[in-house]
Amino acid sequence: MGHNRLRHRLVDSDQSWSARQRRRRSDWLARTFPDIGDMHVVDLGGRLGTWHRATVRPARVTVVNLEQPPAAVPEWAHVEQADACDLPAHVVNGTYDLVFSNSVLEHVGGHERRLRFAAATRSLADRHWVQTPYRYFPIEPHWIAPGMQFLPIRLRTALARRWPLGHKPTRSHEAAIHQVLWTELLDRSQMRHYFPDSRMLIERVAGLPKSLIAVRTGA
């Protein structure tokens, strides 16, 4: 229970350190796109909760996620159950002002699928904001474990089964290795490769790069 309370204070509660970081990032998004309140935003891989908590909510939000859509969807939103790396034609043919993605690119499943995700981002709108945790920040953000991302798969899997601050605690080897293999943190060279025409913003904590944000503000 003590570890659960610690994770709650660090990450999960609305007053946690992580929640404060998310609010700062939301403010940054609003400053970067001052007309976001009038936009139709397509959120690749996100959830509606992001926009309920946003500093400024867009006029319209389309969320694309592999998960089953929630039972209740507000009138300003639409949720599409789909793969952001292989979008259905009716999503591709939609009209959007901004593509948004937060902490998704590291979970899409390898280099080839990241290329497809980046291509989809560029094709959907002239403007985008794509954030992903930085590989060389000393704390692995999903498990809140120092240096975990640098360990061999076998040790990362063992740690995922036992580390008490993980985002999805599990004792099963198969579940743990599934989580580990679906989490690949990126560095700056990779992000520049996937988004060569974007400006790269660096989110810092205590002076250290914590996440990378590929931003394009217009054609």
Interval 107-123: pLDDT, tens: 999 999 999 999 999 99
pTM equals: 0.91
- When pLDDT is averaged across residues 51-66 and rounded to a whole number, the result is 96
Instruction: Indicate the domain borders of the chain.
Output: 2-135+184-216, 143-182
pLDDT of residue 99: 98
Average pLDDT for the chain: 92
**Contacts of 109 by beta carbon, 8 Å cutoff, 6+ apart:** 85, 182
Query: 13 pLDDT exceeds 50?
Result: yes
Distance between CA atoms of residues 126 and 96, nearest Å: 9
Q: Residues of 93-125 as b/e, b for ≥16 C-beta within 10 angstroms?
A: eeebbbbbbbbbbbebeeeebbebbbebbbebb
- HEC-encoded secondary structure of the chain: CHHHHHHHHHHHCCCCHHHHHHHHHHHHHHHHCCCHHHCEEEEECCCHHHHHCCCCCCCEEEEEECCCCCCCCCCCEEEEECECCECCHHHHCCCCCEEEEECCHHHCCCHHHHHHHHHHHHHHCCCEEEEEEECCCCEECCCCEECHHHCCHHHHHHHHHHCCCCCCCCCCHHHHHHHHHCCCCECHHHHHHHCCCCEEEEEEECCEEEEEEEEECCC
For the domain made up of 2-135+184-216, the CATH class stated in words is: alpha beta
Within 10 Å of residue 59's Cβ, how many Cβ atoms? 13
Q: What is the pLDDT of residue 18?
A: 66
Per-residue pLDDT tens digits for 64-96: 999 999 999 999 999 999 999 999 999 999 999
Can you tell me which residue has the tokens 């076998």?
154
pLDDT class of 1 with cuts at 50, 70, 90: very low
